[in-house]
Each structure stands twice: as structure tokens, then as C-alpha cells.
């Protein structure tokens, strides 16, 4: 990720590969470097939480340049629900511009703040992932991350702050296998850890602070569902 900021807020956020990152940076600005740096530090912290599945929206101030129409579309993008997708047509209709789908799609394509302004939540009329500046693979990864985190089962907290997940015998094997395959650390503990009286459930214990996203992905994998 390459991000630029002014004293007022984020100006641009791009996703680039390898050597392209240096070129994407361009010439550093000189306006209020301390204020701009504060916005970038804040973005880094919020982005790390987002990628863990612990944050659903960004609160960093924005200072992107665009036409009034583009700004209207970008504001609508920020209002899209986390973990869900919408079609270009549905977004145009929500903006009371049902006949301007192409114009709305063009404004989405000019979104200068990838991830922060979630244009990845907009898909084609048939559900296909199209039109993402950073590539369809990244768009799929972001959608998968959000859907997994949004649908991850809630964890109980034990006395040490660890998270406890109870599973039925029918789903335990598939979920445990998916967690192992996904490299998510956990330990299996007795039912009494979750206040269960008998061995009719499987209880998994996760370290404090475990992100919900990987657990949600494991559930999707165990059920054979693509998020």
C-alpha cells in the first residue's frame, strides 16, 4: 500500500506491486509534514486492525480531490455495509440516478482512496468481480476478509481473556481441519471451560486478541462455502 496525505487528510491510497511502489510515491509534499504524518500513522493502525477483522470502517480524515458528482459517489461507497456487496446498478439507483450506471461506474473507477473508500464492495450485475484498479485478486481477498469477519461466530472470554468457541460434534472435525490448514493457532479444551456439563460439545481456546476473520474463513471452508 502506498498512501499520501496533506495536513487535512488522506489524499491517495493505492495498492501496488514491488518496484511499482517507489514510482507510485511520486514527489513527497512539503505542506504541514507533521500533520500529514499523523494521518498516515493513524491509517496504518486502522489498516492493521481492518486486516485482522477487528475494524469495519476507517475514521482517518480524507482530503481527496474530485468533482461534486465523484464526491457524491465516494460518499455512497463509504456508506455501503461491511461484509456485503452491491451492484453498480443498485448503487446508481440508491443515488437516484438509475440511468447513470456508467457515470457512477466511472466515478467509482476514479476512487483515489482504495480500501478506505470501499469500492471493492461494488460488483457487476451478475455478481462478477470487475473494475478494480488493484486487480480482481485483491478485490476478492478484501470481500472474503470482510465476509469472514462479519460472519465469524462470537467467542466467549475466559478468566485469562482468551476466546472460547463451542462446536457441535458434527461440525468440529471440519472446522478444526480448516483452522489447521489456515495456520490459526488454538487448543482443544474440556467442555467445562465453556460451562458445559457434558462432553456433547467441542471447545476450542484461542489466544487473547485472536482476529475473527480467520475463524470465519475456517467456518466457510468447513461448510464448503465461498465467502
The reported pLDDT for the residue numbered 223 is 73
Distance, CA of 204 to CA of 171 (rounded, Å): 12
pLDDT in tens, 88-145: 999 999 999 999 999 999 999 999 999 999 999 999 999 899 888 899 999 999 998 9
Specify whether the CB–CB gap between 122 and 77 falls below 8 A: yes
Residue where the block lists cell 514491488: 18
Distance, CA of 119 to CA of 198 (rounded, Å): 48
pLDDT above 70 covers what percent of the chain?
91
Specify whether the CB–CB gap between 94 and 76 falls below 8 A: yes
Domain boundaries, the chain: 1-150, 152-222
Distances (CA, A) of 24 to 3, 16, 66, 131, 144: 9, 8, 19, 20, 26
Question: Which residue, among 72, 64, 65, has the nearest Cα to 39 in the 3D structure?
Answer: 64
The reported pLDDT for the residue numbered 221 is 79
If you classify domain 1-150 with CATH, what class do you get?
A: mainly alpha
The pTM (predicted TM-score) of the whole model is: 0.78
Specify which residues 3 forms β-bridges with. 13
The reported pLDDT for the residue numbered 29 is 47
Quick one: which H or E segment has residue 88? Answer: helix 88-94
* Strand pairing class (86-87; 122-123): parallel
Specify whether the CB–CB gap between 10 and 3 falls below 8 A: yes
Radius of gyration of the chain (CA): 21
Specify whether the CB–CB gap between 60 and 42 falls below 8 A: yes
Would you write out the chain's pLDDT as a tens digit for each of its 227 residues? Answer: 899 999 999 999 998 876 555 555 545 444 558 999 999 999 999 999 998 888 999 999 999 999 999 999 999 999 999 999 999 999 999 999 999 999 999 999 999 999 999 999 999 999 899 888 899 999 999 998 998 888 888 888 888 999 999 988 888 889 999 999 889 999 999 888 888 866 778 999 999 988 888 888 888 778 765 44
Residue where the block lists cell 481527496: 64
> For this structure, is 119 an active site residue?
yes
* Strand pairing class (187-189; 202-206): antiparallel
The reported pLDDT for the residue numbered 21 is 55
The reported pLDDT for the residue numbered 58 is 97
- Active-site residue among 114, 116, 119, 167? 119
Amino acid at each position: 500500500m502506498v498512501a499520501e496525505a496533506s495536513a487535512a487528510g488522506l489524499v491517495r491510497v493505492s495498492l501496488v506491486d514491488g518496484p511499482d511502489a517507489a514510482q507510485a510515491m511520486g514527489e513527497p509534499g512539503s505542506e504541514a509534514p507533521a500533520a500529514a504524518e499523523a494521518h498516515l500513522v493513524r491509517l496504518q493502525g486502522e489498516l492493521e486492525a481492518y486486516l485482522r477483522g477487528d475494524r469495519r470502517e476507517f475514521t482517518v480524515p480524507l482530503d481527496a480531490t474530485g468533482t461534486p458528482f465523484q464526491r457524491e459517489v465516494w460518499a455512497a461507497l463509504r456508506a455501503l455495509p461491511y461484509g456485503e456487496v452491491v451492484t453498480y446498478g443498485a448503487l446508481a439507483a440508491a443515488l437516484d440516478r438509475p440511468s447513470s450506471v456508467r457515470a457512477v461506474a466511472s466515478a467509482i473507477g476514479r476512487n483515489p482512496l482504495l480500501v478506505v473508500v470501499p469500492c471493492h464492495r461494488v460488483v457487476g450485475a451478475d455478481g462478477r468481480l470487475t473494475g478494480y484498479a488493484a486487480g480482481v485478486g485483491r478485490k476478492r481477498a478484501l470481500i472474503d476478509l470482510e465476509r469472514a469477519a462479519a460472519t465469524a461466530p462470537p467467542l466467549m472470554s475466559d478468566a485469562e481473556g482468551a476466546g472460547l468457541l463451542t462446536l457441535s460434534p458434527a461440525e468440529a472435525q471440519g472446522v478444526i481441519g480448516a483452522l489447521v490448514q489456515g495456520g490459526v493457532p488454538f487448543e482443544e479444551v474440556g467442555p467445562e471451560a465453556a460451562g458445559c456439563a457434558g462432553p456433547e460439545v467441542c471447545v476450542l481456546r484461542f489466544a487473547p486478541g485472536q482476529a475473527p476473520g480467520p475463524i470465519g474463513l475456517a467456518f466457510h471452508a468447513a461448510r464448503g462455502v465461498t465467502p
